[in-house]
Structure 1
Amino acid sequence: MSTKLFLGHRLRRLRRDHGLSQTAMAQSLGVSPSYLNHLERNQRPVTAALLLRLAEQYEVDIRAFAAGGGHRTSPEALTEIFSDAMLRDLGVPRHELVELANNAPSVADAIARLYRIVQESGARLETGGDGDIRSAVTPESWVRDYIQQHRNHYPALEEAAETLGGALSDPLSMAEPLRRRLKEAWGIDARVVPQAELGNVSQDYDADRRRFLISSQLKLENRTFALAYQLALVEFAGVIDRMVEKAAPPDPGIHQLLHMSLANYAAGAIMMPYGRFLKACEDMRYSIDHLCGEFGANVEQVAHRFTTLNRPGHRGVPFFMLRVDPAGNISKRYAGDQFPFSRFGGTCPKWNLHAAFQAAGQVVTQLIETPDGQRFFTVARTIERPIKAEISGGLLAIGLGCDISHAHKLHCAEAYDLANAPVTPVGPACAACPRVDCALRATPPTGRMLAVDRSRKTISPFPFVAG
């Protein structure tokens, strides 16, 4: 190993996550407590042999562990925060932000949460809210952070769903086995009814009458998902309740949203059981259309399932995924091992995610490169909402991407000469993007001296001094 790895904070967090003392963990790894103490304090580098023992003892993915796993607040996210107008005058150098993210990740997470609270509190004031900062942690942001901390993978749900989904799999349609299971095992009668009977909801469970109603306006794949969701609520009630209790959501609304999110996860795992789905992904080279046909799922369901393939020893391609509307609002954001985009803002205008709206129904691919030199292969395409909107703008766009080192595994990358294909340089939110000559820059970069010359105009509207 040519580069020394100082991973003290990750070792310490791993030990605490498992509820171990330094003595207990040192014993399991075959090292002395004093040596482990030196490792945790970054006074000794982690060796390749120790990484292998970590992988064996604690099912650690070596690459993700050595790289930080991508699920904590990154130096890039901190750069974005400290480029905000209220903080930029501090001039915090990047090396300090890197040190903070690496050596005090919980503090970095707290800063990120506080920054989001300030943002959301300001938005509430602008829209007439009371500005109470205690109510500024939105359910969506809290649950998103929880999902990201677990890398969108829950072994307990996966194991239960794989057993149940395997037993219910049917090559014709999974909807009927799901419906029978609800009726025979739980006495729940599931039926499709006109939307008018449901008002403004798409599905409704009446626990007293043991009746589950599904809107006739839901597309077939979404009806199947609705059945799987309801089955997950009753089959995995104990598992999900324990997970939510352990997560300790701060209020009832977040509690309910997290419960719903975990049930949604379980529904996807029932429809697409882990082992069979991963094998199909590899056999079909991650072709979304083929996988939709194989599992009776839709594009969004398959794309979301891609991001959950993080089982130790049996991982899939580490995808990141976003879902946006035509106005650029991001309603889903899941990361794999790396996530190159802004945590608090939108997407880079050079990434062709939004171009999918001009090519509805078509697959739009692109090779992109982030400022640190990482390259990603990305795929974008439009999807329809579960129930078609009565107004314009009913389409959404799904963006998927993975590190270019995995692109050769993808069906949609077969036409690319990955070594020589043109690459589009992208960045995070404009305020944190270090790229100098970008004609699409919307705002000046914070913390940088502008290089505006009134006698000439540059391609970029906000030229600045690099470095």
Structure 2
Amino acid sequence: MAEGRTTGARLRDRRQERGLRQADLARRVGISPSYLNRIEHGQRRIGGKLLLDLAAALGLDPAALAEGGEAQRAEALRAVALEAEAAGLRPAPEIARAEEMAERFPGWTALILRQSVRIEALSRRVSELAGRLDHDHDLARALHQVLSGVTAIRSAAGILADSPDLDRDWRERFLHNIHDDSEALADATRALVRFLEAPERGGVALAASPAEEAGRWLEARDYRLPEIERGEALADPLPSGAAGELVAAFVARYAADAAALPLGPFARAAREMGHEPAMLARAFGQPLPRILRRLAALPPDDGHPPPVLRLPMGRDAASSQAHRGPVLSPFRGPAPSGPCPRR
């Protein structure tokens, strides 16, 4: 059991170094937090596919977790061999000799396990990118702009190459178009690179979309802007690029709502009327959506119920907001099951 305890302690150290909670790591590898807790405290042995999954989630060589335990490395190697055999690798790996391999060639074993983790991380990224292409409008638009720019430049260049006697005015027009299309292509390519590039953490990471980045910025503030309530400028800078535009739209809507329904009088009326949106709308003569947004902006530590529904950040950033009970019951909408319609 000492061997398992050493592996569990090493796992706990690596997890804490990366700032991950047990619940976060457990969710990534598909086990319960309580089971992970038992692993980290040496109450459960670890090996095989679970060892590979944990190593991939932490961006580690599996041997770094199982170091000092040849049995764990052999089991992890056996799991890799079984997956390769199931995928039709020929000649098939000698699964029965996994322990011998781990004992006689620890360096090669470490290399195989490290490459397995990397391949798994890359496969996961490909799958996530494929899902993004179906559901993420910003990524699809960026790719469309890149492909459109390449096509336009190739078409204009082809006409120039095939028409040596082209009128000078037309030639200058085509050259001008190529120049403009080249600049547009460069901008679209830079936007796509910024979208896809992200610091690697625990393997291969995906960059957040502008909507996700804007949502994180607002979530960090709990979708409340006390500076706006006081008539002051925001203390924190907005995100850059498209995410900043989404946040700016949210801030503009928030400021308009705060000007129409100042926090102090509205908070007192909300408590008196039991936070009933229809009554508040009639009392203040304001549209119901604005009332709902102002209810969501009320501080929960001042006698107001907490928000019970948070709408996801969409392209209309100003519409992303929470509502408070008893307006709606807790609900989490389903994830999209098919591709978004393309325009």
Shorter chain as denominator, the TM-score bin is 0.3 to 0.5
**Higher share in helix:** 2
Q: TM-score, normalised by structure 1?
A: 0.30
Q: Which has the higher strand share?
A: 1
